[in-house]
């Protein structure tokens, strides 16, 4: 999280030209329909088709083709696709072979043996749209020269059990895919529709970058299971269409999470049926949220709701003043709820139940919830018990004579976690400053740490959490915080800095966390999110934000997908990212 009262830090160089001041960078393209946004530029497709002139050679059986004899059709001839596949993020493994590779060609089709009702049907349709309207055919069809075959298959080439359609993934094993270009045909195979989706993103990008894919086989999977973006749409409202555009962008970069921080002191931005009084005038309707969720699930993104508590509740407490926290002199602390009052927990649990139902996930999929937990003002005072004697008394009453306000705050989050779990959430997260050392009451052992800052007084070293056996998601505010207006010595993060310096193990400041390497593996640090915080909401327009985050997101996608040192220079990576995004 970000907060105006946080201490300063040393200056560092301002952002590189990719994030130049609003007046010095070009505005992004104007609004377009979803079809136009997703499809490759007509000029690019036309160029690919021109290269794919046809010869009179007879059809030959392709790898993975169905048993039915294929009708003789001309084999496309085109200029050979050379070099390794060019994508963002880079593919993990490519085994080249002799041949001309694959390009989109006139008369080519996408063949889906599993049929129109299979879980990969929507991925196939999307790929057809991305390739300029390539038709999709279903069932037991011959795979002809120039065609693309899309199939679910395990490593042994056999079929795999069905998962729920468009289920967000919970493990990198669900995101593996193989892509083979051979004899003018292209085969996309994966054990899940998520893997197929990522294979289609590789095809889309490779066509944009080089017109097609070189002959050979790609075997690819991500390094980290959680890869995404956080959007603070509480301090600054964003339209549903703007969020949907970011969902498409995240999906194309093989990022798979969107955290929505929709409640804070400045606003509560989603329609509520249980507590309509708390909703800000400028908000998303539930139907708009459902539309965002449908799109996110089609791109295999998990959407993570966050209702931050016990701090950052100003918009809620404006309508429940009796639950506001007061200090010893009776002064109200804006945004802080009085956790000693049973009614406070009841209010937040009602909201958790309502939004857990709204942010539905496919059956069997990972169900995330973020509790918040950061910057509770009662615990930022030099002497919390003296400043908030009411909380201190409540802690002793509940936990014995040695009970502390930290115990009370830990118990509060434990109770909210139980409410989220009762509502069907099984992956619970909270900010690192919502965990306290040396308390009688311990934070639930299954709670993941969202680590953002080590700069505040008494901040926890991330090594502590890893040594405790917790999972830690990286939101390092040194690299991954895009804070509008750059308050408190924040500077807009650059893709170059992420690309050159950051890794998932750099949780705090600029160096890897000081623990054995076995504690920084993907099972312990499952990934990272790039956070957009709107502290000074009017400092940038939504269009400027979209432009400013483009290269940082591309760099993040590279570093969480492939653990190796990037092969490209920053200049080459930036040029490639611009080309494959269609913004160049």
Catalytic residue among 244, 375, 421, 478: 375
The two structure tokens encoding residue 402? 């040695």
What sign for the dihedral angle of Cα 342, 370, 239, 196?
negative
Q: Report CA-CA distances (Å) from 358 to 260, 346, 362, 428.
A: 13, 19, 12, 17
**What is the pairing mode between strands 427-431 and 448-451?**
parallel
The two structure tokens encoding residue 333? 């602390």
**What is the pairing mode between strands 177-182 and 136-138?**
unpaired
DSSP per-residue letters across 534-571: -TTGGGS-HHHHHHHHHHHHHHHHHHHH--SPPSS-HH
Contacts of 318 (CB under 8 A, 6+ apart): 278
Q: Would residue 375 show up in a list of annotated catalytic residues for this protein?
A: yes
- What does the alpha-carbon distance between residue 203 and residue 51 come to, in Å, rounded to a whole number? 17
Alpha helices in 166-217 (DSSP H): 193-210
- What does the alpha-carbon distance between residue 528 and residue 514 come to, in Å, rounded to a whole number? 18
- What does the alpha-carbon distance between residue 545 and residue 534 come to, in Å, rounded to a whole number? 10
- Cα 486 to chain centroid distance, Å, stands at 23
Contacts of 147 (CB under 8 A, 6+ apart): 62, 108, 109, 110, 111, 185, 186
Alpha helices in 253-341 (DSSP H): 286-298, 314-317
395: helix, strand or coil? helix
- What does the alpha-carbon distance between residue 133 and residue 263 come to, in Å, rounded to a whole number? 41
Contacts of 466 (CB under 8 A, 6+ apart): 472, 513, 515, 519, 520, 524, 525
575, exposed or middle or buried, with CB in 10 Å at 0-12, 13-18, 19+?
middle
The two structure tokens encoding residue 51? 């290269």
Active site members: 375
């Amino acid at each position: 999280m970000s907060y105006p009262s946080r201490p300063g830090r040393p200056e560092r160089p301002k952002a590189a030209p990719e994030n130049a001041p609003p007046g010095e960078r070009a505005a992004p393209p104007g609004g377009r329909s979803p079809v136009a946004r997703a499809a490759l530029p007509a000029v690019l497709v036309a160029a690919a088709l021109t290269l794919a002139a046809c010869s009179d050679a007879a059809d030959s059986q392709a790898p993975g083709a169905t048993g039915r004899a294929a009708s003789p059709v001309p084999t496309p001839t085109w200029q050979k696709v050379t070099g390794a596949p060019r994508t963002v993020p880079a593919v993990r493994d490519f085994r080249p072979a002799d041949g001309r590779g694959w390009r989109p060609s006139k008369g080519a089709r996408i063949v889906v043996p599993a049929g129109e009702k299979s879980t990969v049907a929507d991925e196939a349709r999307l790929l057809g749209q991305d390739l300029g309207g390539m038709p999709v055919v279903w069932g037991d069809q011959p795979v002809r020269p120039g065609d693309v075959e899309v199939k679910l298959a395990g490593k042994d080439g056999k079929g795999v059990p069905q998962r729920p359609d468009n289920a967000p993934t919970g493990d990198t094993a669900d995101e593996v895919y193989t892509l083979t270009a051979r004899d003018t045909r292209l085969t996309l195979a994966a054990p899940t529709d998520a893997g197929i989706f990522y294979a289609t993103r590789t095809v889309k990008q490779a066509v944009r970058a080089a017109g097609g894919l070189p002959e050979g086989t790609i075997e690819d999977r991500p390094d980290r299971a959680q890869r995404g973006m956080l959007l603070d749409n509480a301090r600054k409202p964003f339209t549903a269409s703007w969020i949907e555009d970011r969902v498409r962008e995240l999906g194309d970069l093989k990022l798979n999470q969107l955290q929505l921080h929709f409640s804070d002191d400045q606003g509560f931005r989603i329609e509520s049926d249980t507590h309509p009084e708390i909703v800000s005038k400028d908000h998303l309707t539930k139907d708009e949220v459902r539309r965002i969720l449908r799109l996110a699930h089609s791109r295999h993104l998990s959407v993570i709701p966050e209702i931050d508590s016990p701090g950052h509740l100003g918009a809620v407490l404006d309508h429940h003043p009796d639950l506001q926290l007061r200090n010893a002199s009776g002064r109200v602390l804006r945004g802080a709820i009085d956790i000693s009052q049973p009614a406070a927990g009841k209010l937040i649990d009602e909201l958790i139940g309502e939004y857990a139902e709204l942010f539905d996930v496919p059956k069997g999929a990972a169900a995330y919830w973020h509790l918040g937990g950061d910057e509770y003002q009662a615990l930022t005072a030099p002497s919390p018990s003296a400043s908030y004697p009411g909380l201190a008394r409540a802690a002793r009453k509940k936990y014995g004579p040695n009970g502390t306000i930290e115990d009370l705050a830990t118990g509060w989050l434990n109770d909210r976690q139980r409410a989220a779990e009762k509502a069907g959430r099984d992956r619970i997260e909270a900010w690192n400053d919502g965990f306290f050392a040396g308390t009688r009451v311990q934070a639930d052992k299954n709670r993941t740490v969202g680590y953002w800052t080590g700069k505040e007084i008494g901040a926890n070293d991330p090594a502590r959490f890893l040594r405790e056996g917790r999972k830690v998601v990286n939101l390092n505010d040194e690299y991954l915080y895009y804070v509008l207006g750059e308050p408190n010595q924040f500077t807009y993060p650059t893709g170059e800095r992420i690309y050159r310096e950051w890794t998932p193990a750099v949780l705090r400041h600029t160096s890897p966390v000081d623990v054995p390497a076995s504690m920084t593996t993907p099972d312990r640090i499952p990934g990272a999110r790039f956070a957009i915080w709107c502290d000074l909401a009017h400092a940038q327009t939504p269009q400027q934000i979209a432009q400013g985050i483009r290269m940082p997101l591309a760099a993040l996608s590279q570093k969480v997908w492939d653990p190796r040192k990037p092969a490209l220079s920053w200049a080459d990576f930036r040029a490639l990212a611009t080309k494959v995004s269609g913004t160049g």
